[in-house]
Each structure stands twice: as structure tokens, then as C-alpha cells.
Structure 1
């Protein structure tokens, strides 16, 4: 069996690392990796392949810095050409990025089966480009690997039981990654010592809904600035976010650092007092490492974290962000809840592909 894996954005490298490791255990599967280049900063791409021991991409399309339409179109064109050459049995895509939908479309239009890891997630906000990507990818996928029962339920409500697609509840591959790499992170990361960190809040801001809306971005930054006047706030800043902040002269009072590798990020999560983010993956990683989370979005696809009190969605309003910060900083949660499986999602995915 030959599988072509499409990667492009930082969280996909994390997810693919554990699945690729499982694939390598089976001599009956050959994996070909296409890196679209969607995340092109060295610290947001190359370092992940190096430290997480992901096989180097067989192809790198180097497509980045374009509008949604232009980027997706260029990816579609580039991926299609490779698929016509490689002729795989499956194309495997992850999550909800432009790389995800481009890979799924390229495969399906030339009659190659599609496997979608992280299928069934819904924020129910159709204005989010990620929501459009995940809905469309699910609809044309042949195997839908769902991380949670909520994701399975979403697909069933949308009528997927009547479609020619197989639905599997596998658990979350990011839990696999968190469990596997936590030990390595403890051994290899020195970011806590390097930055002289003790008590601090970890924060990230990168989603287009926040960075492209200057009112939302200013409001979020104002809240983080106020928090940072009382306690240290460390923000590994996305290059695009940094560019927008600088271009619009938005005053920054928090500690902005360059993007970090996965081991450093694990260390920052585990040593932080609280996580504040608009990242889907970081919401879950906060839970995996026993940290409460304040989500800088109006909704989340990881609804079970909110329903069980591990996470609160506060949008972009400064007052609501500050209220969420104070509430979650003091909240004592039991993180033993089984929300995302047992850490064997990758093995389940590979087993189902082989069937």
C-alpha cells in the first residue's frame, strides 16, 4: 500500500509524526510526504522535522504568503501533479487548513481515496475558513478518523451514515504525540532556564478571525498587556501576527518571543500557570498537561473541554478576556477525565487503513 501524506501547517507536523512512526512499523505500507510549504518559517517547519524525527518530505511545494484562494489553487495544482506520478492508494490529510482541503480535492478529482484525520469537528461558525475546510474535506473523504464521540455525533447528524464513507472513533493523535514527546521534551528543552521563567502565562494568537480583524486584535492585545502588567506573559508570536501588529503600530506590553519547536512548547505548557490561545491544538495540549485554558475565540470545535470546565471561550472583548483569565487562573480542575482516548489513535488509524 502507498499513502501520500499532505502536510503544510505546524500542528499537522505534530499529528503526522506519531502516525508516520506507526506506518514505519509495517513493511507493507510506503508513505510519501508532500510539504506544501504553508508554514515556511524555519522554526515553524524545519525544526519539527528535525526534532520530532519525521521523515523528510519527498516533495516541497514551497507555497506560502498568498491569499486563501491563490494558495489553495496553487496547492491543488502542485499536489495533483505529484499524485498523478505517485498513484497512491490513499491520500491522508490532517485537520482543517488550506493544505487539507487542497490535498483532499486533488485526490478525489482523480479518484484516489481520501483519509481525513480529525474528521467530524465543528465550530458551527461558517465564517471561519477552517470550518469550511473541515466540512468540505469530510464530505469527500472515504475514511473519517474522529478524535471524539462528539465528532462522530456531528457526522451522524449530518447524514454521513447514508454516505459511502467509513467513520471511526480513534481518539486523538495529538494525545499520542503528547505522551510520546513529553519525555523527550523534559530531556532536550532548556527554554525555561534560557528565558529565566518562573510564574508565567503562556499565550498564542494566530487565527485569521483575530489577526485580520484589527478591532479584535487590538482588544485581545490590550487584555494581554493588562495581564502582563501583573504577571509575566510569554507569547511565541506567529510571523504573520507580528507583521500585522507592527504594521498597525499596536502597542505591545507582553513578552513576545520567536516561534518555538514542539519540545520547547511542551516545556512552556507544563511550566505555565495558565494557557491563553486561539489555537485548536494548544487547547487540547493544555488539557493533556493539566493546565486550564482561556480560548480567545467565540467558539471552539473542542466543545468537550468547555462542557467539562477545562476551557472557557471569551472571544476578543477585553473585559471578558480578563474575567476568563481571573476565573481560570484560580480554578482547580481534575484532569483525569478520559476525553480523547488512550493514546493509541495512530495504531488504530493505520490498522483501519490496512483493512
Structure 2
């Protein structure tokens, strides 16, 4: 069967790497890069480091408002589907690329498979939440990373095609952690710094929120390594926010360096969903700069705490640290293999 895989953003490249390898053992894969992330350090370097095949199509959509970006992707992916006539379209996560790929396939009556289905923050103000919900409701195969995700779908009446596979991020970390330590140029002492990432529109587009976050960073009792997303850098300049001396603003890190930096951090402060999960898997305390999370499992074992953008809460949580028991909540590192097997079974059942 021909599997058309749609990716466009950094987290999707990481998830795609192990899945693509398993898919290509059994099927023909056509890889489509929407160009949602187009900066070298957020895109091309991941293909190089993770050994992902060159995309068959690079749509070069770039940035824009949600409507403009998603609409352009939808039209372009529709053309690719018409040309390639795939047996299934595979989408990842919760970005505009995810939704565009799912909608294009559904409207053309091509089955949709969603990797990382069933996640819910229950906050429809987040564009990612809207993307998740809509994608799940048009999907034929829903690959859930956790039992909680399965329960979320059942609560919405979705049970057909739902499969508990585990999380492909575990596969990626198990494959790449040793390589990261070997190849990374990261050399700061373990536990000697905080690592911070900020990119969500709710934080970057609100001057008061971004100022509060940066104020909290300035009050932490150690250096803060801050790989800055291009949009965040633009907003810092726009609002006239100058990071404190203890905040080391650097370019986005290549995957191996980011993985090594995360593994060695005293704690991570982030608004990223993926980083929360990576921190849990690596047993690194996480302070989440949001009031909700789709990864509720990280909260239950006290490795993660939600603080929003209140500076006092951020500082207190970072000082307190966290960490309790640790369970294999995200699977055993064989999610990609299960996904490829389920797709093969689906093909056999629908011939």
C-alpha cells in the first residue's frame, strides 16, 4: 500500500523518524513536508540528524495566520493526494499541517490515520486543541499513546479504529539518547542550569505574559539556557524585553544537542507539550508555563507542575523541583512497529 505521510513541524519530524522506518519495511511511503517550520534549525537539520528520507514533496507553505496557512496547505496536499492516489494518509500530532492533511484526505475519501490521537487539554482557546479534535473525528485509524487518550476518545463517542500503541516519542528517545551523548557538542555540567522553551501564541503574543515569564527566569538561582524560537525572538524585540544576565539566549538547538541539554538540566521550563513528555521520560523535573496540559500523566507522578505565567509560581516551582515515582506510562518503545503492523492489517481487511 502507498502511505502518504504529512509532516511540517519539529515535533512531527521526531515522531516520523521511527514510524517512517517501520512503514518502509512493509509499504511504499510518500513523504510530504508542508514547510510549516522552515527555519534550518527547526526543519532541515532534523531530517539530517534523524536519518529521515528527503521529502518527496516540499510544499514551502511558510508562516501566516491559521486560516491562511491551513488553507494553503489544504489546497497543496489535495493536489498531492490526487497525483499519488495513496491508500491511506498518515498525520501526526496537532499542528495546522495535521489538520490540513486530515481534511484533504477525508474530503477525497482517503482513509486517515492519526498518530498521537486522543490527546485533550480541554481548552478550545488553543489552536492545537481544535486541530486534535477535528482530526480525530475524521480519522479511520487513531493511534493513541496512552490509556487516557483512549478514554478521551470514548467519551466523545469514538471507539472504531482506536488502537493503544504507546508513544512514538519513547521509540525516538530510546533510539537517539545514546547518539545524542556521543554526537552532541553540549558540554555544560549536569544539573548546573535550567533549560527553557517558550513558543505558544498564548505566551508570546501577550506582552504581559511574556514579561512575567522573563521576569521569573531572571529570578532563578542559576543560569537559564533559552533556545529561542524565531517568533519568540521577534516578540521579545517588539515588546522591548531584554533578558536578564543569567538568561543565555541562543538559537534553536539541533535535535541531539536539545536532547543532551534536556537530559542534563536541573529542570525544564516550557510551554511545549512534547518537551513535557520528553522531560518525564528522561526523569527531569518540568515546570509548565500553561494552566493545562494534554499530557496529564506527567502530573500524576509529580514530575510536572502547571504554573501558568505567574512569576512567583514559576520561581517557586523551579526551586521546589519535583519528581516522585516513575512509570512506563508512554509505552515500551515499540509504538512505531505497532503502527506499521496495524496499517498492514487495515490494508488486508479493506482490500
> Which TM-score band applies after superposition, normalised by the shorter structure?
over 0.9
Inter-partner Cα distance in structure 1 for 2:300 and 2:324: 13
Residue 199 of structure 1 corresponds to 192
Residue 343 of structure 1 corresponds to 333
Q: Aligned-pair RMSD on alpha carbons? A: 1.2
Inter-partner Cα distance in structure 1 for 2:304 and 2:213: 17
Residue 242 of structure 1 corresponds to 233
Report Cα offsets for 1:45-82 as digits up to 9, x if no partner: 00000010000100111111211100000000100001
Residue 30 of structure 1 corresponds to 28
Residue 52 of structure 2 corresponds to 54
Report Cα offsets for 1:89-127 as digits up to 9, x if no partner: 110000000000000000100000000000000000000
Deviation >4 Å, runs of 4+ = none
Q: Does 1:213 align with 2:206?
A: yes
Residue 171 and residue 243 in structure 1: after superposition, are their counterparts in 2 closer, same or farther (change >3 A)? same
Aligned residue pair count: 343
Residue 2 of structure 1 corresponds to 2
Inter-partner Cα distance in structure 2 for 1:309 and 1:204: 20
Asked if the contact 2:302/2:323 (under 8 Å) is kept, the reply is: no
Residue 305 of structure 2 corresponds to 312
Inter-partner Cα distance in structure 2 for 1:207 and 1:272: 21
Residue 231 of structure 1 corresponds to 222
Inter-partner Cα distance in structure 2 for 1:332 and 1:9: 30
Report Cα offsets for 1:232-271 as digits up to 9, x if no partner: 1001110010011111111211111101111111100111
Report deviation, 1:197.
7.6
User: Residue 179 of structure 2 is aligned with which of 174, 181, 184?
Assistant: 184
Residue 348 of structure 2 corresponds to none
Q: Secondary structure at the match of 1:25?
A: helix
Inter-partner Cα distance in structure 1 for 2:292 and 2:205: 17
Give the TM-score taking structure 2 as reference length. 0.96
Q: Secondary structure at the match of 2:187?
A: helix
Report Cα offsets for 1:167-193 as digits up to 9, x if no partner: 000000000000000111111101226
Residue 135 of structure 2 corresponds to 137
Asked if the contact 2:145/2:165 (under 8 Å) is kept, the reply is: yes
Inter-partner Cα distance in structure 2 for 1:350 and 1:248: 47
Residue 282 of structure 1 corresponds to 275
Residue 95 of structure 1 corresponds to 93
Residue 258 of structure 1 corresponds to 251
Report deviation, 1:198.
6.5
Residue 86 and residue 201 in structure 1: after superposition, are their counterparts in 2 closer, same or farther (change >3 A)? same
Q: Which ranges of structure 1 fall in alignment gaps of 5 or more residues?
A: none
Q: Secondary structure at the match of 2:324?
A: coil
Q: Which ranges of structure 2 fall in alignment gaps of 5 or more residues?
A: 346-351
User: Residue 65 of structure 1 is aligned with which of 58, 63, 66?
Assistant: 63
Report deviation, 1:206.
0.4
Q: Secondary structure at the match of 1:190?
A: coil
Give the TM-score taking structure 1 as reference length. 0.95
Q: Secondary structure at the match of 2:224?
A: strand
Inter-partner Cα distance in structure 2 for 1:121 and 1:67: 24
Q: Secondary structure at the match of 2:76?
A: helix
Report deviation, 1:334.
3.5
Inter-partner Cα distance in structure 2 for 1:345 and 1:198: 31
Inter-partner Cα distance in structure 2 for 1:225 and 1:84: 52
Asked if the contact 2:145/2:166 (under 8 Å) is kept, the reply is: yes
Q: Does 1:149 align with 2:147?
A: yes
Inter-partner Cα distance in structure 1 for 2:298 and 2:187: 27
Report deviation, 1:25.
2.2
